[in-house]
Amino acid sequence: MSKKITLTDLARDPGCLAEYDPNAMGYHDAQKWIHQFISPIKETEIIPIKDSLGRILSEDIYSPIDVPNYENSAMDGFVFFQPKENSPKILKVTGSVLAGQISSQEIISGEAIQIMTGGKIPNGGNTVIPIELVTHENNKIVLNETPKIGANIRKVGEDVKKGALILKAGKCIRPSEIGLLASLGLSSIKVYHRLRVAFFSTGDEVVAVGKPIKIGQVYDSNNHTIGAMLKQLGVDTIDLGIVADDRKALKETLLSIADKADVIITSGGVSVGAADFMKEILREIGEVLFWKLSIKPGRPLAYGKISQAHYFGLPGNPVASMVTFYQVVQPHLKTLMGETGYQPPPLFKVKAESLIAKRPGRMEFQRGILFKKNNEWWVRTTGSQGSAILSSMTQANCFIVLDIHLDSVDAGSDVHVQLMEGFV
């Protein structure tokens, strides 16, 4: 069991180290709190469906046609008229219809027409028997089974009815949506403009890759993880590189980009260190609407506005900045992009292979490896969970999501995991 934290402890330790901090908001409350300041961007544009993967629809789509627009066969087989009683056993084959052909031949009792999948049902036919269920000899077929009336016939509008609402504004376009739009003959759609997101790293010790590094410096990995996560979301990025821990430079950079970007994301400088200026600057040139979150990693996380731009100040530690991006920022970016009802990837219960250490007071997103053993899914942690250990993110295939009140999880107990693949 973890040590119980008293109010006296807290008064002595108001920084970012305490497991429980009364000034830090719970994850779900924080998400609701930030959400009230977020609404979709206004600008829209019309684009070809071919270029619409990952874009967000900004208008409802009603079908201009029935799909299919003609009654057709779902199988390669024979079409005939199946009466309510006295089903025929033997039929004479009098012709054939391929997909794309229209037969003017009428089907009369005792006769069948060979038909291919997608072929238009000729007048008089009401049932298709698949080729596998008949014995075909000369001009005759013997039916080995009695199909139900209407079997294997695709009805007009069976997939989509003319005039029906098929896609709602706010929907993220995936390959299936592009296919559905194409099946309606629509070649272009109206979508939200791409969100413009500017980002930069802060820190005197942070150096761009490609440059030599001295002892005491770190390469700027956040620029690359944040840039890549933004690319995966399909936003337009404005990469501002690295800005030193210098109030003037930080302020000027923020002000210079505030009217060109919908969102500004920075990493580093939001904690309680001597060179952590971001919150203070935000207060000066905009408004701080949120600061501390009771999650691990990533307690210091600032949200606010600078003119019309939304500002997210992520922690500098590489794992913390990725976790807070995925878990906290991404849902809000999705809303700003115009997507309605975005949900983070679902949680699944699996078994912990060994003890997962935790103290109550913060919700944790540990890095986990999900694996199958004896037909069951299990999870183990990637090892050290330090928020600077970026290799834990590359080893992991899931987050182990541990609720705020949870203590350590024993080996063999159930635990929630969330697939990392779900975030892309």
The site for ligand AMP (CB under 6 A) is made up of 201, 203, 205-206, 218, 220-223, 267-269, 271, 273, 276, 315-318
- What the block records as the tokens of 48 is 């070809």
What residues form DSSP beta bridges with 61?
167
> Which is closer to ligand AMP, CB of 52 or CB of 385?
385
> Which is closer to Mg ion, CB of 231 or CB of 283?
283
> Which is closer to ligand AMP, CB of 151 or CB of 244?
244
Beta strands in 268-362 (DSSP E): 287-292, 295-296, 300-306, 309-314, 348-352
> Which is closer to ligand AMP, CB of 320 or CB of 398?
320
Residue type, 352: A
The number of residues that bind Mg ion (CB under 5 A) is: 4
Q: Please compute, for residue 325, the number of CA atoms within 13 A of its CA located in the half-sphere on the CB side.
A: 31
Residue 118 touches which member of ligand AMP, Mg ion, none, C-beta under 5-8 Å by kind: none
Residue 318 touches which member of Mg ion, ligand AMP, none, C-beta under 5-8 Å by kind: ligand AMP
What residues form DSSP beta bridges with 199?
239, 265
> Which is closer to ligand AMP, CB of 103 or CB of 222?
222
- What the block records as the tokens of 39 is 């609404």
Q: Which residue is nearest to ligand AMP (CB)?
A: 316
Q: Is 117 helix (H, G, I), strand (E, B) or coil?
A: coil
- What the block records as the tokens of 212 is 């030599």
Residue 119 touches which member of Mg ion, ligand AMP, none, C-beta under 5-8 Å by kind: none
> Which is closer to Mg ion, CB of 220 or CB of 262?
220
Least Å distance, CB 307 to Mg ion, is 25
Residue 368 touches which member of Mg ion, ligand AMP, none, C-beta under 5-8 Å by kind: none
State the residue for tokens 């930080």. Answer: 250
> Which is closer to Mg ion, CB of 275 or CB of 285?
275
- What the block records as the tokens of 158 is 């069976």
* Distance of alpha carbon 254 from alpha carbon 41, whole angstroms: 20
Nearest Cα residue to 246 out of 301, 305, 200: 200
Nearest Cα residue to 236 out of 34, 421, 45, 31: 45
Is 318 among the residues that bind Mg ion (CB under 5 A)?
no
- What the block records as the tokens of 295 is 């999650």
Residues 171-210: x where in contact with Mg ion by CB under 5 A, - otherwise, as a string: --------------------------------x-------
State the residue for tokens 């409350």. Answer: 29
Least Å distance, CB 179 to ligand AMP, is 40
Residues 260-299: x where in contact with Mg ion by CB under 5 A, - otherwise, as a string: --------xx------------------------------
Least Å distance, CB 299 to ligand AMP, is 11
* Distance of alpha carbon 334 from alpha carbon 263, whole angstroms: 12
Least Å distance, CB 30 to ligand AMP, is 18
> Which is closer to ligand AMP, CB of 147 or CB of 316?
316
Enter the DSSP assignment of 325: I
What residues form DSSP beta bridges with 367?
399
Binding site for Mg ion (CB under 5 A): 203, 268-269, 316
